[in-house]
Amino acid sequence: MTTKKTTNSQAAASTEDDPGHLVVFDTTLRDGEQSPGISLDAAEKLEIAEQLARVGVDYVEAGFPVASQGDFEAVQAIAREVGNEPGAPAICGLSRTHIADVDRCWEALRDAARARIHVFISTSPQHMEHMLKMTQAQVLAETRAGVARAREHTGDVEFSPQDATRTPLDFMLEVLVTAVEAGATTLNIPDTVGYGIPWDFGALIQHIRRQVPGDYVLSTHCHNDLGLATANTLAGVQAGARQVEVCVNGLGERAGNAALEEVVMALRIRPDQFPGITTTVRTEELARVSRLVARLTGYPVQYNKAVVGRNAFAHESGIHQHGVLADRSTYEIIDAASVGQVGRQIVLGKHSGRHAFADTLEKMGIHVQGDALNQAFARFKELADRKVEITEADIEAIVAEELGHDLIEGFKLEALEVSGGTVGMPRAGVVLSRAGDKIEATSEGNGMIDAACSAIRTATGVQTRLIGFNVSSVTGGVDALGDVVVQLEAEGLKVSGRGVSTDVVEASTRAYLAAVNRFVRIKARNERRQVEIGP
């Protein structure tokens, strides 16, 4: 077996050079994508990974390569395109302890300049009895074999005992010692079910540091089932952990993971509690990555979300307003501009040209060119005729919608006509085009949106079931853009689509059609693979 072996451990090197450096390990693309209803394609994952690189995280956990061919391709693309940029984060993939899984994970990662394999196995009695059907001895053997195999590929190996906080302490210590002896350079302690309490979790981290010998970095991975993920993470850092595993907007299984923006800003605002602890995160990029992830996943950020929520720097109370007008520090502990919440508002209108539009995108850190730029500009001009001012948030929504469209030709919305009200059945008519052919269809529905979606089903011949619908306002005002995300299920596949418009019916229609186009592309790609692979 010939492999390209990475000999350095990025996390270990960072902490050796600077004992106060806290490694920020972002798992939005792996654990975050496991949030119910989220399904990102390779292009969307790549876009998020590129923004995470701009944020300055140390690691991007790009996915679970053995889970599906799509996940493998996404991890591989991120390793090749993001993992080799100047100053790029290291790229990580998750793997079970099975040898075949570890090899598959490395195959996806091997082209990155710096790559980590993250090996895990369950260790709690509940998981071992009901999921693994393994004894403690078997788990120890699997740990040793999986970590050792990963170490053959790279010098940067992370190990996680899944459900650590419900694992008997003596056995967990034995598993961790085994992992270090086999070559693990980072030991991650997952509070997989959100069972931990801050003071107890901190004590656990301290105990592990004392009892497990070796040269490794101790890491936290906390879930939010009790609303304590950020608190537990910070307790772990205070107790000596030098890596934190986090997700943008606190995404993740069930109630989510520790939020990247909360953990980083807590460290920034309270250095008295974390003396000497630093990160490489560029906090001014936090709001932007938050908005990007929200739009691409279809998970809106709650208004009162800490740091990145719409109301994080809003003041309703008269007393609060008076104080903030006199001095913002009276009721704000974070400078909004330091997290990208307040900044220059670019105003573009219908007279703006393509060059100004492209220049604005570049200044916003959005790199689009070729056909994608042309499509985004055409959409911008169309909306500018209906909206007095186009802001940064509007532009991000427009580009997010257009970049969600594959350049492989699908159905295009040429015209939409709807009628509704309190009298009569709501109706909709659509005109679509594909490969130069026009397709028209009309339908009735429970409302104008339902009628429009029904007309699309008729025109495309794609029968789907709506499983998720979310509409939000991109900006304020009566001419605000409506940002709609829909999730559909068809033939066992779950897909999402996004649409933006000043008209929420049109935005919904565009989102529905985008999801249909995604289904068509995925189905065609799967059929091609079956032909290539053969029976």
Contact (Cβ atoms closer than 8 angstroms) between residue 397 and residue 481? yes
Give me the long-range contacts of 68-74 (CB less than 8 A, separation at least 24).
69/529, 70/41, 70/42, 72/104, 72/107, 72/108, 73/42, 74/29, 74/40, 74/41, 74/42, 74/45, 74/46
Q: Which of 202-206, 287-291, 522-526 has the highest mean pLDDT?
A: 202-206
Domain layout of the chain by residue ranges: 10-297, 354-403, 412-532
Question: What percent of the chain is modeled with pLDDT above 70?
Answer: 83
pTM over the 0.75 mark: no
- Please check the confidence at residue 79 and state whether its pLDDT lies above 70: yes
Write down the H helix ranges in 212-281. Answer: 229-238, 260-269
- For the cut 90, the answer to whether the pLDDT of residue 106 exceeds it is yes
Question: Are 10-297 and 412-532 in the same CATH fold?
Answer: no
What is the C-alpha to C-alpha distance for residues 190 and 44, in angstroms, rounded to an integer? 27
Alpha helices of 270-391 — where are they, by DSSP H?
A: 286-297, 318-326, 354-363, 370-384
Count Cβ atoms below 10 Å from residue 315 Cβ, excluding itself.
Answer: 17
Query: Which residue is associated with the tokens 């679509």?
Result: 432
pLDDT of residue 402: 66
Per residue in 239-282, pLDDT (tens digit) is: 999 999 999 999 999 999 999 999 999 999 999 999 999 999 99
27 pLDDT higher than 60: yes
Of 99-108, 299-308, 394-403, least confident by mean pLDDT is 394-403
Higher pLDDT: 235 or 531? It is 235
Whole-number pLDDT of residue 9: 45
Structure tokens at 381: 């001009």
CATH topology classification for 412-532: Double Stranded RNA Binding Domain (3.30.160)
Name the CATH superfamily, with its identifier, for domain 10-297: Aldolase class I (3.20.20.70)
d(CA 73, CA 109): 10
**pLDDT-derived band at 141, boundaries 50, 70, 90:** very high
Lowest mean pLDDT among 48-52, 294-298, 323-327: 323-327
What does the mean pLDDT of the chain come to?
A: 85
* pLDDT number for residue 401: 64
Cα–Cα distance for residue pair 65/172, rounded to 1 Å: 26
Is residue 400 within 8 A of residue 292, CB to CB? The reply is yes
pLDDT of residue 4: 45
Q: Do the beta carbons of residue 47 and residue 296 sit within 8 Å?
A: yes
pLDDT reported for residue 343: 36
Residue 322, pLDDT above cutoff 70: no
Q: What are φ and ψ of residue 22, in 5° steps?
A: -100, 120
